[in-house]
Structure 1
Amino acid sequence: MASLTSHAHKAADNPWLERLTRAGLVGYGVLHLLFAWLVLRIAFGGAPADGDQSGALHALAAKPFGSALIVILVIGLTAMVVWQIFEASIGHRGERGRHRVYERLASAGRAAFYTYLAWTGIKVLRGKNKSTADLQEEASQDLMVSSGGRLTVAVIGVLVAAIGAGLAVYGLTRKFEKHLMTSRMTAQVRDLIRRLGEIGYTAKGAAYGTAGVLLVMAAVTYDSDKARGLDAALRAMAAQTYGTWMLVITAVGIAAYGLFSVVQARYRKV
């Protein structure tokens, strides 16, 4: 077992995996910047694409060299999946006890999410136009045929809302700093990445929290239109009296997270 763990650590320390992972973090940040741009378009009534990550990828695919950029992004995301699988299996260096278990579970969740994003990118490259929001709505429609299915949708909504709350707390308490090589930063960079992380994680948390609440409402009211994930959350914001400003603030926050991801690519412990 010790030998197997040793081999796993050596594989995790592969320099090419580190380079691809850091490139993936940059791509992940760019994806969030595109997402923020879509949120702004929704705010001002000009976004035909869905307001989620798949909508951002579809918008990118329509640009010159967009497909090539998505290929690079998928490669980087795949490296991030491998990295997080290693983190989930062998743990974070220096973590002990309950914190070690929590970090392993968090890494497993990140690996699943990065896999979903990579697969979404592959589907966009293959020309499949059905968005994640459409798939979520269809799945919710199928589930809500029975009372047990509606309960399942409600439970998923509660979990999504809890993830949103967790992201916000993670940002506000600056837990992200323990994964960064802060000793290599100048005071100015450390202050910048701290502010970007606080704002970015809080904005993402608020968006996911709203999406989770809407999923619960979809189950209660039997309205699958509310079960479209982030797209439904953003369009629900747009329908409010101060919806435009709410979306502008959300877009700024998501853009902050995108910039945080780009900056942390250099300083993340990989």
Structure 2
Amino acid sequence: MLEHLTRAGLVGYGALHLLFAWVILRIAFGRAPADGDQSGALHTVASKPFGAALIAAIVVGLVAMTVWQAVEAVAGHRDERGRHRVYERVASAGRAAFYAYVAWSGVKVLKGKKTSSADAQEQASQDLMVSGGGRLTVAAAGVAVVVIGAGLAIYGLAGKFEKHLKAGRRNPAVRTLGIVGYAAKGGAYAIAGVLLVLAAVRYDPDKARGLDAALRAMAGHAYGTWLLTVTALGIAAYGLFGLVQARYRKV
């Protein structure tokens, strides 16, 4: 049962990234939504017919994915020699936390809450930056996000995601989707992390808005439209890779 729900969750997660890519394109061409991240994508779904039902289905799938990764984190991963791989357990714990966060964002949208995740991040950062220690905390969080973004990009460029696919399902098309998708997502998170550090250094909470701030920062450059379009294509590739994983991921 958990496997079927997890695979359904991977479908929803992939679809959510395709919607996120659409949100990025809207920012690129001056039709920006209120929130330029996964929360914005969920609000976009909510505004459509049967949107609430779709979000509910995505939330159920994300909860299943959270449980799946939590079990992986506790039970541990083993290599070919049967040894536990600590870094894989840590990665699973991180994924479980992230899936739970996105699922909670979906629940809030279903409850009709209009506050965006970007606004919440900005307010939390502003509250922290009242003190010097709080600013250090925000800066440290920014560095952590940069590391996570770089890790995602390296993970994708090295093709390490292929080891999680069923044997015989590794081909150039799937590899390309994974590489491009992970690199784009990692790059977006790295930029968000850099902006978070700058927000702490300059005491500028407006930059502490996560992916929303990163995307709008890109839009402000001379080649912003092109940068955002390329990023949107990369996130779309990640979304398509998520759909591939729904069928071929080892669960």
Q: Please, what TM-score do these two structures have when normalized by structure 1?
A: 0.91
Segments of structure 1 that go 5 or more residues without pairing to the other structure are 1-15
Residue 105 of structure 1 corresponds to which residue in structure 2? 90
Give a deviation string over 1:42-80, Cα, whole Å, max 9, x none. Answer: 000002231100010001000000000000000000100
Report if aligned partners of 2:142, 2:197 keep a CA contact under 8 Å in 1: yes
Distance in 2 (alpha carbons) for counterparts of 1:191 and 1:23: 24
Report if aligned partners of 2:23, 2:36 keep a CA contact under 8 Å in 1: yes
2:176 aligned counterpart, secondary structure: helix
RMSD of Structure 2 on Structure 1 (CA): 1.3
Distance in 2 (alpha carbons) for counterparts of 1:202 and 1:152: 27
> Quick one: which amino acid aligns to residue 113 of structure 1?
F
Distance in 2 (alpha carbons) for counterparts of 1:250 and 1:49: 19
Distance in 2 (alpha carbons) for counterparts of 1:269 and 1:256: 20
Residue 223 of structure 2 corresponds to which residue in structure 1? 242
- For 1:9-20, list aligned pairs within 5 A: 16-20=1-5
Q: 2:15 aligns with which of 3, 23, 30?
A: 30
Residue 253 of structure 1 corresponds to which residue in structure 2? 234
Does residue 67 of structure 2 align to residue 86 of structure 1? no
Q: 1:127 aligns with which of 85, 107, 112?
A: 112
Report if aligned partners of 1:193, 1:264 keep a CA contact under 8 Å in 2: no
> Quick one: which amino acid aligns to residue 247 of structure 1?
L
Residue 175 of structure 1 corresponds to which residue in structure 2? 160
Give the structure with higher Rg (CA): 1
> Which aligned runs of 4 or more in structure 1 are off by greater than 2 angstroms?
92-99
Give a deviation string over 1:102-152, Cα, whole Å, max 9, x none. Answer: 111100000000000110000000000001000000000000001110000
Q: 2:182 aligns with which of 191, 201, 205?
A: 201
Q: Please, what TM-score do these two structures have when normalized by structure 2?
A: 0.97
Q: What is the percent sequence identity of the aligned residues?
A: 73
Give a deviation string over 1:213-252, Cα, whole Å, max 9, x none. Answer: 0000000110000000000000000000100000000000
> Quick one: which amino acid aligns to residue 229 of structure 1?
G
1:48 aligned counterpart, secondary structure: coil
Segments of structure 2 that go 5 or more residues without pairing to the other structure are none
Give a deviation string over 1:142-167, Cα, whole Å, max 9, x none. Answer: 00001110000000000000000000
